[in-house]
Amino acid sequence: MKQVLVVDLYVDPKFKRQFKRLVNRIKEAGGNAATSEFESLPTRDPTILNGSYGGVVLSGTEALYTRTADRTKFAAFIEYLPKIDIPILGICGGHQALALAYGGTVAKSARSVLGYRTINLEDKDTLLAGLPAKIRVMESHKEEVKLLPPNFLRIATSSESRNEGMRHEQRPIYGVQFHPERWNKENQAGKQILENFLQRIVTA
């Protein structure tokens, strides 16, 4: 398997442990991970990126896209995302960044969501293969995807967020509002999701 490029979207250094956990969990799920900061990604030639890696994972972020300063900070990164021509999995803030990059909308959630929640799977495609209709996963967000981008399908929903998961109709691009990397002994669905991305979707 080619390396997976894991992109760090966290801004404040105190959140870097969250990124390290994501990288470690990708390795636990069988991935060979390289890393990049989101600020430096737009400086990389996308044709080289597409030839060097089998897929890309976008981390969560504490930044808020509805905040002007944060949206400006991520503008070049969001503009760059459609140039990536290999499988992508966006997690939480990465999910929202993908929605913005492809023409969707992000808005503040009705309330902050934190903790394990029940998610309903509407389209058990490749990313969600082998999972039951309802799963328990970790949520940690203050914003959500309000409107899916054109050519994206909803694959998961919950009482907190209508668009808990999405996928592109033709391309291997996926986003989930929750944090699959934060699985535990009682809630293993996140591990299955990462394994599905790495083993079924990432290019060999």
160 is catalytic: no
Query: Do the Cβ atoms of 142 and 183 come closer than 8 Å?
Result: no
92 is catalytic: yes
Catalytic residue among 122, 181, 186, 195: 181
Residues whose CB is less than 8 angstroms from the CB of residue 167 and which lie 6 or more positions away in sequence, other chains included = 123, 125, 127, 152, 153, 155, 173, 174, 175
Tokens of 44: 């990389």
Q: Which amino acid is at 200?
A: R
181 is catalytic: yes
Catalytic residue among 139, 144, 179, 195: 179
Report the 10 Å Cβ neighbour count for 36. 16
CA-to-CA distance for 3 and 20, rounded, in angstroms?
16
Query: Do the Cβ atoms of 120 and 189 come closer than 8 Å?
Result: no
Relative to beta strand 4-8, strand 152-157 is unpaired
Catalytic residue among 92, 139, 144, 164: 92
Residues acting as catalytic residues: 92, 179, 181
